[in-house]
């Protein structure tokens, strides 16, 4: 791999204290750091020069693989040409061009795009927009937000309020008022070792009717769910579940938001999970794969009717008092445009879709390995759930994570669930290596 010598020559910092690492056991990590210093295509390079196969597309974001030349060049050129320009009462061409490209990719009439800088910001933007939209139409009484247990919607106050992962919520006080949660859709007894979508569980969407009866639907602004819950450990929607949620939302005038921060941009072999499942929400939030992880960016897609509702007052007034200094940042836009080109030119969504069957078989080959209590998969995503060690939850998955890294494979874990989601340029040989290495580690740890 060209350029690795210079990348591996990166000097290591001699002070690890100052950086308060996100979502990390800081003290444990700093005693035995795992550093990455380079990356190309399917691999990272570790500090000691070893190649590490990326089984997780970074954090589910590097969908086209690492250091792709077209994206790198677009970023370099753009930063030299127009490094920054404001988009408040000013503009530059790139976010207009990008929004039009994205709108053309999005399902049905989700043809307006608002830019943020992360998934968390995209989610909080969508939640605020939902409430503001109803107000703009004279339904200011619709303020409640419904999320789902085990949902992950980033770390803003809106996102953790509608989110349903207790460890992400409990440190932060009372959160937003007026939020309720649907039950999550996972039942191991009924779903374990399902390939693709489980047959059991569509009826769980009917819990939304119960929440409507409890709060009165006229108080509910929006329901937000991940079409496939990722960060909680890969929960795949039961057959018919998303369609039922859609129908109930439509019946009661509630907006349905799909949080596609993980599922967007090819993870399921389509532009969006919405397309894969054939269910069209009113808004889509995305981030990560929009720029292939190179430059931070998030986005909210909204249906035409929602945008139009804001465009009613006097033309000289700002329609939505919301936005970020870096909404539509030129370098992020350049990265996103080059990323979309790369996806299209290399037909990466289609290419990954062609690999789904092979991926599924490889994942389920771990079924009888020690401590494996479930394997589930969809698109180019799989989860291998381990029986937690008595009294030491997460220890088993952490051990597998460290051992895999030592053997040159990056995996991810949440609780005792190992999640795998490689870049879409993945080949069969990489699939074999991912499940081969993980299988060996599980056998040896037994």
Which CB sits closer to ligand PLP, 377 or 414?
414
Which CB sits closer to ligand PLP, 261 or 366?
261
How many angstroms separate the CA atoms of 442 and 427, rounded? 23
* Beta carbon of residue 284, minimum distance to ligand PLP (angstroms, whole number): 11
Residue in the structure block whose two tokens are 């419904």: 146
According to DSSP, the β-strands at 112-116 and 298-302 are: antiparallel
Which CB sits closer to ligand PLP, 154 or 217?
154
Which CB sits closer to ligand PLP, 61 or 338?
61
According to DSSP, the β-strands at 220-225 and 36-40 are: unpaired
Which CB sits closer to ligand PLP, 288 or 364?
288
For 59, the token pair is: 């954090």
How many angstroms separate the CA atoms of 283 and 440, rounded? 42
How many angstroms separate the CA atoms of 24 and 95, rounded? 34
* Beta carbon of residue 293, minimum distance to ligand PLP (angstroms, whole number): 10
* Beta carbon of residue 273, minimum distance to ligand PLP (angstroms, whole number): 10
* Beta carbon of residue 147, minimum distance to ligand PLP (angstroms, whole number): 11
* Beta carbon of residue 288, minimum distance to ligand PLP (angstroms, whole number): 6
For 262, the token pair is: 């993980």
Which CB sits closer to ligand PLP, 124 or 180?
124
Which CB sits closer to ligand PLP, 60 or 359?
60
* Beta carbon of residue 358, minimum distance to ligand PLP (angstroms, whole number): 25
* Beta carbon of residue 37, minimum distance to ligand PLP (angstroms, whole number): 22
* Beta carbon of residue 61, minimum distance to ligand PLP (angstroms, whole number): 8
Decide: 227 and 197 in contact? Cβ < 8 Å: no
* Beta carbon of residue 369, minimum distance to ligand PLP (angstroms, whole number): 27
Distance of CA 367 to the CA centre of its chain: 26
Which CB sits closer to ligand PLP, 226 or 433?
226
Q: For residue 148, with 0-12 CB atoms within 10 Å meaning exposed, 13-18 middle and 19 or more buried, which class applies? A: buried
For residue 176, CA distances in Å to 67, 120, 123, 163, 171 come to: 39, 15, 14, 11, 14
According to DSSP, the β-strands at 381-386 and 372-378 are: antiparallel
Which CB sits closer to ligand PLP, 95 or 227?
227
Which CB sits closer to ligand PLP, 226 or 374?
226
The CB-nearest residue to ligand PLP is 119
Distance of CA 170 to the CA centre of its chain: 22
Q: Which residues contact ligand PLP by CB under 6 A?
A: 118-120, 123, 152-154, 226, 230-231, 259, 261-262, 287
* Beta carbon of residue 430, minimum distance to ligand PLP (angstroms, whole number): 22
Reference 349, options 248, 249, 272; nearest CA is: 272
For 298, the token pair is: 């998030």
Which CB sits closer to ligand PLP, 262 or 300?
262
* Beta carbon of residue 224, minimum distance to ligand PLP (angstroms, whole number): 9
* Beta carbon of residue 234, minimum distance to ligand PLP (angstroms, whole number): 11
For residue 366, CA distances in Å to 40, 111, 182, 246, 374 come to: 28, 42, 31, 35, 9
Compute how many other C-beta atoms are within 10 angstroms of the C-beta atom of residue 3: 11
Q: What is the DSSP string of 64-87?
A: T-BT-HHHHHHHHHHHHH------
Cβ neighbours for 166, distance < 8 A, ≥ 6 positions apart: none
Dihedral sign for Cα atoms in the order 13, 19, 23, 24: positive
Dihedral sign for Cα atoms in the order 377, 380, 381, 382: positive
Which CB sits closer to ligand PLP, 288 or 369?
288
For residue 4, CA distances in Å to 46, 74, 402 come to: 11, 21, 23
For 307, the token pair is: 């945008």
């Amino acid at each position: 791999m060209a350029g690795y010598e210079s990348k591996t020559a990166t000097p290591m910092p001699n002070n690890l204290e100052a950086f308060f690492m996100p979502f990390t056991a800081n003290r444990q990590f700093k005693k035995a750091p795992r550093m990455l210093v380079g990356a190309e295509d399917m691999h990272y390079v570790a500090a000691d020069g070893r190649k590490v196969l990326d089984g997780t597309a970074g954090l589910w974001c590097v969908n086209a693989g690492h250091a792709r030349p077209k994206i790198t060049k677009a970023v370099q050129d753009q930063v030299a040409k127009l490094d920054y320009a404001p988009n408040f009462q000013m503009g530059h061409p790139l976010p207009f061009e990008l929004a039009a490209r994205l709108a053309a990719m999005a399902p049905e009439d989700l043809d307006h795009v608002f830019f943020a800088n992360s998934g968390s910001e995209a989610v909080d933007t969508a939640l605020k927009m939902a409430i503001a939209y109803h107000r703009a139409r004279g339904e200011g009484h619709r303020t409640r937000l419904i999320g789902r247990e085990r949902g992950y919607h980033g770390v803003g106050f809106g996102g953790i309020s509608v989110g349903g992962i207790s460890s992400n919520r409990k440190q932060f006080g009372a959160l937003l008022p007026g939020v309720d949660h649907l039950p999550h859709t996972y039942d191991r007894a009924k779903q374990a070792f399902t390939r693709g979508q489980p047959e059991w569980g569509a009826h769980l969407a009917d819990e939304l009717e119960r929440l409507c009866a409890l709060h009165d639907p006229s108080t509910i602004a929006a329901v937000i769910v991940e079409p496939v819950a990722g960060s909680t450990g890969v929960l795949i929607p039961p057959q018919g579940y998303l369609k039922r949620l859609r129908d109930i939302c439509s019946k009661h005038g509630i907006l349905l938001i799909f949080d596609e921060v993980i599922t967007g941009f090819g993870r399921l072999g389509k532009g969006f999970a919405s397309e894969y499942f054939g269910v069209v929400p009113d808004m889509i939030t995305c981030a990560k794969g929009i720029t292939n992880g190179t430059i931070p960016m998030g986005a909210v897609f909204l249906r035409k009717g929602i945008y139009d509702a804001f465009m009613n007052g006097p033309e000289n007034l700002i329609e939505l008092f919301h936005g970020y200094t870096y909404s539509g940042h030129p370098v992020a836009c350049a990265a996103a445009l080059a990323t979309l080109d790369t996806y299209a030119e290399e037909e990466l969504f289609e290419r990954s879709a062609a690999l789904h069957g092979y991926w599924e078989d490889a994942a389920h080959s771990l079924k009888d390995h020690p401590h494996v209590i479930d394997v589930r998969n969809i698109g180019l995503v799989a989860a291998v759930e381990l029986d937690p060690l008595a009294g030491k939850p997460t220890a088993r998955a952490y051990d597998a994570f460290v051992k895999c890294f030592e053997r040159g494979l990056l995996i991810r874990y949440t609780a005792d669930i190992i999640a795998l989601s490689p870049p879409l340029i993945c080949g069969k040989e990489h699939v074999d290596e991912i499940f081969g290495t993980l299988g060996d580690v599980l056998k040896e740890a037994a």
